A and B are shown apart, each in its own frame.
Chain A
Amino acid sequence: MEKLISNAIDLVCSRALAEGGFSVKSDGFFRPDATAWAVLALKSGLCCGEYISKACLRLAQSQLPDGRVPLSTVNAAAYWPTALAVLAWQKSAGQVDSVQRAVTFLINNTGVHFPKEKKSIAEHDTEIKGWPWVENTHSWVEPTSMAVLALRSSRNGEHPRVFEAVRMLLDRQLPSGGWNMGNTSAFDKELLPVPESTGSALAALNSFTNTEVVQKSLEYLNKIIQDLRTPLALAWGLFGLTSWNRRPENCRQLILETLERQEKYGPYDTDLLSQLIIAYYTEADLIRFVC
């Protein structure tokens, strides 16, 4: 195994908590997002199985009765980790009920949507439903992409909410290509794309639309991917391109160079390390990897 990858796996494992689950940094607290990503990473590397079942159980313990997996029980409104938990629980026999409750929660919840005003300063259709980061706020690109991936992974890819979310993502695609957090324009000015949002939308959309529809977005990502050496943007850029069979030939080299950059930036968060590990091992799209 490549030393940088084995070091990354070791670092993730070193953040496993005695009670199960993972922290974002060394000596940190339990976080569901870090835990879900760590589970996915360790599954991809086919290692450290002893941590996986404990972590899945810890995630299930943090699930609320309505099915959501919040950032913390102190703040249940930030329910965006729910989709991540669904992905992490796939193939875990002990969490079938947790998956079902989380899926039901996702299907029954949405961001705040409203009719578009005539003089609206935003260009996108504010009525098409997706998912928010936080309860009682508008729907945005990345949580919607993650929810689509979660529902697809749990064999709910044909649900009307998924089709509507796909419509929402396509509506938020920038005319010049790519996605940002979810605003296409403000005051008639087209806004700029970012790699992490673009990658997440492309990863969610890969079986729902034609290449022509996302061609400009693929071109945007393909153009910048060789310059990316930061973990979040690179990993999501690779997830997006891989989903559309455009995985760069030097993909693993890009990942290793990005891992090397910890000398400059310091140790990466668990989420980021995990995403790089998954991108390193996964040559298929995220759904095939998870399922």
Chain B
Amino acid sequence: MIQNFSKILDKAIEEIAKLPGIGRRTALRLALHLHQLENIEVEQLLSAISRLKSELHTCQECHNLSDTPVCTICTNPKRNHQLICVVQDIRDVIAIEATHQFNGVYHVLGGIISPINGIGPEQLTLEHLFEKINNNPVEEVILALPTTVEGDTTNFFIYQNISDKVKVVSTIARGIGVGEELEFTDEVTLGRSLIGRTNFETAYSKNN
């Protein structure tokens, strides 16, 4: 894939191919495409990329991405600051925001505890979360972490550190996906759904 005729093209391919999900062949295609763009288009792209680095911050409060030192969710007075939803990373904030079901604020951990991968509690923003709750007690903390062994470990760790300061520590429900058939649900999930069954009346009134 190395072209003998242009060191500039080679360099461009090399840099583009460092991006996730992009191989050298796609990198070549993108490089050739970029070369054919108008000057103004290239400048717009370059400026967008460079502002991503220079002007995009992580929120001082919740570690979400933000244009300002504190993000628009944390500064929004209409949101319930007594309700904190703990998530693994920024993609989870985007996913939960898309549901329009949540009016509290977030706390982004930046990962989950997994000593095998060298991620201990100190690598995450957990200290900051505990400090926030210590200084400013809240009504409820929702743990919205992956339903894996690592996610559970992180849940337990957080619970141990905040349970005496927060009225309610809750975790997202585990069970059958909406619109799914029982027969296609795996045994473990179905078993959990039965153990964690909900009262029909409350479930019905909440959904409608």
Query: Are the chains A and B members of one assembly?
Result: no
